[in-house]
Amino acid sequence: MNAFIIPLCLWCVCGLYVHCQSPPNVVFILADDMGFHDVGYHGSEIKTPVLDRLSAAGVRLENYYVQPLCTPSRNQLLTGRYQIHTGMQHQIIWPCQPYCVPLEEKLLPELMVEAGYSTHMVGKWHLGMYRKECLPTRRGFQSFFGYWTGSEDYYTHMRCSFIAPLNVTRCALDLRDGEETAQMYNKLYSTELFTHQAVNIILNHNIQKPLFLYLALQAVHAPLQVPEHYTEPYSFIKDPPRRHYAGMVSAMDEAVGNITRALQDAGIWNNTILIFSTGPGHASRAEQEMQDSLMKDSLRRNSLRTGSVSAPRFNVSMHAAIRYKNWKLLTGYPGERVGGVADETPPLKQVMLFDIDADPQERNEISHKHPEIVSFLLKRLEQLQEGAQPVNFPPDDPRCDPQPTVAHDHPAQAQKDANQDRKTRSANNFQLQT
């Protein structure tokens, strides 16, 4: 994955032999759906001068894993726990599903508040929103500017979603300032908008307190949208989606540059740990179509097999991956078949083993050569599965309905809004449901 840390003042070093005046500021920038090879220093045709330069002066993490989907990956980052321990292992939270990261989990920003930090979040939440208790503002972030669902238009900040029990597709604004719908930002490109918000937080930060800023950029998730000037350097890329994607990565790289400049301007760069990572890796075609969401139902049906079923042996039709030393074992069919899209790849095996030291790209499947390793790792998966929480993946709650013209929100608010003249409402929320 793409990640690096700029440790200008390491905690451990502070604790051991340097007398640090104050704890370091922590700025965590999370990209979305960015591929391993889509960063300059991994040899990409996409130019990322800022990431290249920063990471060259920091620590590059070249061998760690994130989850393949947004919700489980963010769940891990903020709870410090695998998604099998929070019931979030199945898939993502769709706008009308009434669940969130379990409320008994203490999230990273709550711990940072206890450690004396000012905590701020800008960007994508995607850890649930059906009750106020689930919101970032109730789970440790003292300020929030961004969106609660998983994807939306980069300019209008509208999210369209099919609500199965109502058999309708609704589009609604999903941009929030704190807990309020933010209506003033139409046509502002989210990479620039979120960077601007993050820069303001940094410049207005009271340096008496350490800062924790979590900037979860929308970039470079689908849809592939970017102002034209960012794609101009990529006219040599003939495939239009790839060209747009390259432009989005460049905009994101510029965003990281602006954040670091703000940290310098604020005089806190020399006491800041900057971490950059991607949430999930590069989206496959199937994932991108999933994000378009209209095929949601067929997809859900297809992916139910990822659900946990308690069985005496590990059920290899489940998606799982495990590393041990140089070995990596994968189970479950590795692709997603989305309705209507023909899958051109030949059928793959349900259990695959790779020696990733010798074969880092996982091209040479060798389970037949090492049955004892396979059986050892399946046994390990079985043990892990025994400790797993049941999958939490409830059906849509129709009370989320934002109504034809208006944002994804909560019932008390929904009731209040319903009493207002609809025509005076310029934006709808997908509604909070309790």
Ligand X SMILES: *[C@@H]1O[C@H](CO)[C@@H](O)[C@H](O)[C@H]1NC(C)=O
**Binding stretches for ligand X (CB under 6 A):** 9, 167, 191-192, 195, 251, 254-255, 258, 267, 270-271, 305, 309, 311, 315, 317
Closest distance between ligand X and the C-beta of residue 50, in Å? Answer: 10
**What span, in angstroms and rounded, lies between the C-alpha atoms of 150 and 288?**
12
Closest distance between ligand X and the C-beta of residue 129, in Å? Answer: 26
> Is 432 in contact with 129 (CB distance < 8 Å)?
yes
Contacts of 147 by beta carbon, 8 Å cutoff, 6+ apart: 123, 124, 125, 157, 159, 174, 175, 176, 218
Closest distance between ligand X and the C-beta of residue 125, in Å? Answer: 20
Q: Which residue's CB is nearer to ligand X, number 203 or number 412?
A: 203
Residue with tokens 């019931």: 87
Q: Which amino acid is at 423?
A: K
**What span, in angstroms and rounded, lies between the C-alpha atoms of 286 and 183?**
32
Q: Which amino acid is at 237?
A: I
Q: Which residue's CB is nearer to ligand X, number 108 or number 213?
A: 213
Q: Which residue's CB is nearer to ligand X, number 269 or number 327?
A: 269
Q: Which residue's CB is nearer to ligand X, number 258 or number 389?
A: 258
H-helix or E-strand spanning residue 278: strand 272-278
Closest distance between ligand X and the C-beta of residue 356, in Å? Answer: 26
Closest distance between ligand X and the C-beta of residue 197, in Å? Answer: 10
Would you list the DSSP string of 137-194?
GGTT-SEEEEESSS---TTT-EEEEEEGGGTEEEEEE--EETTEE--TTTT--HHHHH
**What span, in angstroms and rounded, lies between the C-alpha atoms of 251 and 46?**
11
> Is 157 in contact with 186 (CB distance < 8 Å)?
yes
Q: Which residue's CB is nearer to ligand X, number 81 or number 305?
A: 305
Active-site residue list: 70, 126
Structure tokens at 255: 């965003």
Report whether the peptide linkage leading into residue 223 is cis, meaning its omega lies within 30 degrees of zero.
Answer: yes
Q: Which residue's CB is nearer to ligand X, number 39 or number 78?
A: 39
Closest distance between ligand X and the C-beta of residue 431, in Å? Answer: 21
Contacts of 207 by beta carbon, 8 Å cutoff, 6+ apart: 266, 267, 268
> Is 303 in contact with 319 (CB distance < 8 Å)?
no
Residue 27's φ and ψ, nearest 5 degrees, are -120, 115
Q: Which residue's CB is nearer to ligand X, number 107 or number 378?
A: 378
Residue nearest to ligand X (CB): 195
Burial of 409: CB neighbours in 10 Å, binned 0-12, 13-18, 19+ = buried
Closest distance between ligand X and the C-beta of residue 368, in Å? Answer: 22
